[in-house]
């Protein structure tokens, strides 16, 4: 045996010498870049789950309205994988769908990455299996308890596939792809698998990661060649969800978990993950766990104080961190509340055991650019630590020590080598995996039963877009009194932590807010509330109208009806007439005492207190008649109807009325309905003058509607043409109040006056009184 082993070492050394120049001083191991790269989700892809009560035709109609193209559906989870229409922004689409009552949840089809970094080449260098020194999981002694497991135990490797068969994939008549079985997997049993990347029954590895993971679990062992696997008699099920570029989608991972659970897997190894929570993957893990499948997941390689997903779903998954040879947590390994156990993951920066080889995890695999050439590669990562746990779990089932997910978890936790603070701690979980101790586990006292915490997100909440909303989860509780950590999903694609976080929404809408709390061992079910967010108040827009003109001493009507508020109502109008006086109202009148140019301003205030101002110019003319003026016409309507001074048109809608008057008892009254019914004066002689000032008072009743009015016209060509000079409008100008008007006309030789009314109903009236014409 010694001779054969020495020869074997010489053969391996020969292989190494062919890989690097003879002058190389460092062990000749090839390095490949870390594949954790790229965007966070598959470009243009989403996962949607409709509510159960939404019929198929409504689902199809909604997808068509949104312009979605269905790529695949998982009936077990009720989820659909869609492609967005070109040019549609993911964030905008997610926000729109989260407001749709027909949709239970929507999320990007997140990218899922592998948790490893590779290097290169044998069993004497598999320190991670060692029983004598530090760092290993005591496999030599464990094999004395159970030698390699049982083919009846099935471990599904949900990964990049496995190099498990020689196979030619014919693409077309001009192209084919060749796949080869890894020599060190030639004696391994395989169950039928599935390829969710290419949608076929041949989940062959084209990246190398899944083959390396498979080797740790069940590579040929005790065969005088290569490296060893933990449970080498176990049956492997290849399930391919990661593509040749080293990443996959959350939809494919969920599909792979469901498929493995439905097709006989006892254990599912997930050496992959994401920093983003996926409801689809969480529900798939729940589905598998409820069917008695043990899920083993890598904790992640971000060197962060939070376990990645899906390992963070602690109620369903065993989260595995990575250690180095010296049994400390590897620099890259994530830690946190959901961490369960540690296993060797390696550190390719050091050679702590002094064997001349960097301390990675060694197994047979290949490089993606050459699938036909197999070698022994050193990888590091929590991707490598997870299959150690999956392999030992397979031995536990085969030996009858533990069979259910909870029993397996208890056996692993109770027998782990404590590394940090006594008992569980967030840095190293329950400690380092010990295969020998786990196989000798007889039940004993399991860890104290942990009662899961209860989340209470408070609410419902209200707020304004662009402003912070305070959330309060302090009513969450833990039956065991354990301290809690808080994870919030604010419903707009943003998450937060802490018991009382603040969050600002960018758009108005009603958002579903969820809170999950963790007591260090398990997470609560997500509890939800709502946040009703209104848009931030938009300021009103003031319009002062104008420009305006009039005569000194004459009332000028100012109108701000062109003002508006885009998201509410205007509650007040404040005028400054520019002469030290002011007024209020949408339409106001003001008379300037002296001629000149003025600037009038109006300030409007909306129902939320926002303001805006606008200005207009006012030209006020001097109307003081020169000396020698003479009154050439006057009528107060007190001497009988029209008195020979006025005539009506054919509508006969004017009358001498005592109902209202400015002075005396009577006034001229126009009574609706009337269609511009007119009252016209006789031709007025100017007694040799060529200028005139017309003064009168008038009034409109409060019944007049917008668009109804009385108007004043003049004619200087004996009634051939008329020019409107003034108007009182319903719902605009003051009503039920006498208003004095003064109109100056210059450069004329003759003058006629006319009053008109436009009213639709019999209850509507206008009045004119005290008409005076002064010539000058």
Which amino acids are annotated catalytic? 159, 209, 383
Q: What is the dihedral of CA 428, 431, 432, 436, to 10 degrees?
A: -170
Are 58 and 75 spatial neighbours (Cβ–Cβ below 8 Å)? no
Q: Which residues, other chains included, contact 393 with Cβ-Cβ below 8 Å and sequence gap of 6+?
A: 155, 267, 294, 296, 402, 408, 412
Taking residue 520's Cβ as centre, other Cβ atoms within 10 Å add up to: 20
Q: Which residues, other chains included, contact 580 with Cβ-Cβ below 8 Å and sequence gap of 6+?
A: none
Q: Encoding tokens for residue 406?
A: 């909870």
- The SS3 assignment for 450 reads coil
Q: Encoding tokens for residue 278?
A: 């996926």
- The SS3 assignment for 558 reads strand
Are 652 and 659 spatial neighbours (Cβ–Cβ below 8 Å)? no
- Tell me the C-alpha distance between 307 and 336, whole Å: 6
Are 291 and 261 spatial neighbours (Cβ–Cβ below 8 Å)? yes
Q: Encoding tokens for residue 600?
A: 């009038």
Q: Which residues of 676-714 are buried (b: 16+ CB within 10 A; e: fewer)?
A: ebbbbbeebebeebebbbbbbbbbbbebbeeebbbbbbb
Q: Which residues, other chains included, contact 425 with Cβ-Cβ below 8 Å and sequence gap of 6+?
A: none
Handedness of CA 472, 474, 475, 478 (dihedral sign): positive
Q: Encoding tokens for residue 453?
A: 């915490």
Q: Encoding tokens for residue 539?
A: 């300021």
Task: Tell me 230's DSSP state.
Answer: T
Tell which phi-psi region holds residue 140, choosing left (phi > 0), alpha (psi between -120 and 50) or beta: alpha
Q: Encoding tokens for residue 366?
A: 């290949």
**Angle at the Cα of 761 (from 755 to 766), degrees rounded to 5?**
30
Question: What values do phi and psi take at 551, rounded to 5?
Answer: -110, 150
Q: Encoding tokens for residue 560?
A: 């701000």
Are 435 and 130 spatial neighbours (Cβ–Cβ below 8 Å)? no
Task: Tell me 377's DSSP state.
Answer: E
Q: Which H or E run includes 384? A: helix 382-399
Question: What values do phi and psi take at 570, rounded to 5?
Answer: -90, 125
Task: Give the residue among 631, 623, 663 at the shortest CA–CA distance from 773.
Answer: 631
Task: Give the residue among 273, 245, 337 at the shortest CA–CA distance from 33.
Answer: 245
Within a 13 Å sphere around the CA of 611, how many CA atoms are in the beta-carbon half?
A: 9
Long-range contacts of 365-368 (CB under 8 A, 24+ apart): 365/118, 365/163, 365/182, 365/208, 365/209, 365/211, 365/212, 365/215, 366/163, 366/182, 366/205, 366/208, 366/211, 367/30, 367/32, 367/208, 368/206, 368/207, 368/208, 368/244
- Tell me the C-alpha distance between 499 and 520, whole Å: 15
**Angle at the Cα of 377 (from 374 to 379), degrees rounded to 5?**
140
- The SS3 assignment for 36 reads coil
**Based on the number of CB atoms within 10 Å of its own CB, is 493 exposed (0-12), middle (13-18) or buried (19 or more)?**
middle
Strands 189-190 and 235-240: parallel
**Based on the number of CB atoms within 10 Å of its own CB, is 574 exposed (0-12), middle (13-18) or buried (19 or more)?**
middle
Question: What values do phi and psi take at 382, rounded to 5?
Answer: -70, -15
- Tell me the C-alpha distance between 488 and 496, whole Å: 5
> Per the omega criterion (within 30 degrees of 0), is the bond before 310 cis?
yes
């Amino acid at each position: 045996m010694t001779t054969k082993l020495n020869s074997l070492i010489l053969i391996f050394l020969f292989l190494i010498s062919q890989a690097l120049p003879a002058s190389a001083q460092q062990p000749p191991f090839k390095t490949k870049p870390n594949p954790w790269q790229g965007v966070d989700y598959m470009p243009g892809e989403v996962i949607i789950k409709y509510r159960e009560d939404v019929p198929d035709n409504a689902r199809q109609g909604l997808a068509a309205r949104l312009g979605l193209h269905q790529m695949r559906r998982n009936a077990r989870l009720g989820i659909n994988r869609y492609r967005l229409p070109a040019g549609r922004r993911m964030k905008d689409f997610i926000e729109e769908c989260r407001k749709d009552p027909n949709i239970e949840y929507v999320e990007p089809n997140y990218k899922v990455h592998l948790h490893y970094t590779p290097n290169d080449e044998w069993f004497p260098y598999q320190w991670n299996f060692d029983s004598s020194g530090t760092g290993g999981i005591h496999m030599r002694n464990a094999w004395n308890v159970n030698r390699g497991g049982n083919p009846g135990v099935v471990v599904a490797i949900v990964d990049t596939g496995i190099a498990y068969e020689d196979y030619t994939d014919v693409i077309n008549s001009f192209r084919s792809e060749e796949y080869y079985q890894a020599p060190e997997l030639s004696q391994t049993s395989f169950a039928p698998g599935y390829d969710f990347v290419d949608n076929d029954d041949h989940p062959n590895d084209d990246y190398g990661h899944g083959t390396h993971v498979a080797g740790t679990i069940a590579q040929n062992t005790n065969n005088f060649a290569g490296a060893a696997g933990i449970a080498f008699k176990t049956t492997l099920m290849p399930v391919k969800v990661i593509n040749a570029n080293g990443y996959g989608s959350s939809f494919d991972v969920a599909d792979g978990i469901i498929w493995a659970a439905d097709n006989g897997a006892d254990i599912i190894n997930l050496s992959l993950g994401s920093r983003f929570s996926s409801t689809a993957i969480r529900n798939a893990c729940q589905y598998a766990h409820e069917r008695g499948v043990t899920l083993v997941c890598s904790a992640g390689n971000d060197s962060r104080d939070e376990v990645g997903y899906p390992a963070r779903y602690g109620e369903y998954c065993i989260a595995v961190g990575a250690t180095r040879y010296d049994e400390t947590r590897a620099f890259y390994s994530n830690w946190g509340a959901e961490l369960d156990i540690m296993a060797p993951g390696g550190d390719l920066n050091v050679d702590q055991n002094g064997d001349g080889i960097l301390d990675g995890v060694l197994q047979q695999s290949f490089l993606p650019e050459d699938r036909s050439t197999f070698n022994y590669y050193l990888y590091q990562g929590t991707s490598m630590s997870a299959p150690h746990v999956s392999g030992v779990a397979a031995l536990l089932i085969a030996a009858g020590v533990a069979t259910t997910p909870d029993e397996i978890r208890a056996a692993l936790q109770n027998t782990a080598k404590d590394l940090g603070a006594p008992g569980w701690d967030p840095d190293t979980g329950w400690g380092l995996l010990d295969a020998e101790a786990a196989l000798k586990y007889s039940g004993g006292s399991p860890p104290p039963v942990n009662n899961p915490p209860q989340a209470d997100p408070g609410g419902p909440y209200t707020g304004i877009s662009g402003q912070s909303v305070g959330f309060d989860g302090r009513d969450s509780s833990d039956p065991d009194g354990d301290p809690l950590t808080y994870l919030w999903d604010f419903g707009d694609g943003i998450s937060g932590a802490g018991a009382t976080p603040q969050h600002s929404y960018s758009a108005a809408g009603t958002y579903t807010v969820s809170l999950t709390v963790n007591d260090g061992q398990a997470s609560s079910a997500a509890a939800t509330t709502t946040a009703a967010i209104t848009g931030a108040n938009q300021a009103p827009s003031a319009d002062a109208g104008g420009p305006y003109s009039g005569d000194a001493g004459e009332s000028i009507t100012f109108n701000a009806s062109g003002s508006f508020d885009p998201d509410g109502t205007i509650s007040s109008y404040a005028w400054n007439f520019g002469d030290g006086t002011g007024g209020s109202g949408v339409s106001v009148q003001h008379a300037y005492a002296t001629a000149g140019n003025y600037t009038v301003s109006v300030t409007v205030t909306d129902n939320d207190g926002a303001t805006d101002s606008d200005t207009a110019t006012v030209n006020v003319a001097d109307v003081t008649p020169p000396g020698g003026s003479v009154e050439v016409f006057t009528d107060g309507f007190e001497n009988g109807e029209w008195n020979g001074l006025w005539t009506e048109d054919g509508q006969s809608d004017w009358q001498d009325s005592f109902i209202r008057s400015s002075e005396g008892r009577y006034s001229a009254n126009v009574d609706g309905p009337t269609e511009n019914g007119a009252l016209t004066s006789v031709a007025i002689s100017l007694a040799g003058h060529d200028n005139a000032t017309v003064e009168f008072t008038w009034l409109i009743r409060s019944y007049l509607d917008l668009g109804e009015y009385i108007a004043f016209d003049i004619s200087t060509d004996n009634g051939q043409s008329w020019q409107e000079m003034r108007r009182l409008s319903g719902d605009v100008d003051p009503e039920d109040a006498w208003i004095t008007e003064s109109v100056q006309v210059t450069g004329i030789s003759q003058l006629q006056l006319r009053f008109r009314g436009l009213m639709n109903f019999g209850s509507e009236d206008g009045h004119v009184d005290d008409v005076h014409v002064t010539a000058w």
